Amino acid sequence: MGNKSGWTVEKGIYQQIYTYLVSYYPRKVEKIEDIPSFCQFRSLPAKYAKKLLEIIPAEFLEDRQNFAPKLVSFLEAGKNHERELEFFGYYIGPKRKDERLTIDSFVYYPTNEDEEILRNYDAVDSAKVWEAIAKKLDVLDAIEPPDELLPISPTYFGERSGWWVWWD
């Protein structure tokens, strides 16, 4: 892909996500070499989607994790459903030729009107649950359904329940 090494730092992508990296790395980077070559991020709030859509070059927005939706689809969903999503994935830094940001999973927290998806989990199969979530979020470009689709109640969100959606 046509960008030079360090583009994720120059465009501000690293600065947007660094507090959500699984291991701590400094926000202010003195040298590109100080950026990790690979690290996971978790619980990235969807409010970052709008800014990431603005700063990630179009060619990288078309990237996807195996059979998952494209990065642009995830970020558009985040922009349009800010209070209902948080993202998980990984960051490939400037030390590698495949430098990028990849989303491979998300947690979807249904709104009150969409709670039926959760209440009826035992009555429907996961394909129907995925179909409802994909349609609601407009992430219809997945090549295959997710590898994991599980009801979840993260302790850090109190009483709020949602769906863990992950592609290998």
Span 49-106, pLDDT tens digits: 999 999 999 999 999 999 999 999 999 999 999 999 999 999 999 999 999 999 999 9
Q: Which helix (H) or strand (E) holds 117?
A: helix 116-119
Domain ranges within the chain, ordered by starting residue = 7-166
Q: State the Cα–Cα distance between residues 6 and 31, nearest whole angstrom.
A: 10
**CA Rg value for the chain:** 16
Cβ atoms < 10 Å from Cβ of 42: 14
Half-sphere exposure of 74 (CA within 13 A, CB side): 31
Q: Which residues contact residue 18 at a Cβ distance below 8 angstroms, ignoring those fewer than 6 apart?
A: 25, 26, 27
Q: Which helix (H) or strand (E) holds 14?
A: helix 13-17
pLDDT tens per residue, range 77-87: 999 999 999 99
Which residues, in sequence order, are bridge partners of residue 163?
Answer: 108, 151
Q: Read off the pTM.
A: 0.89
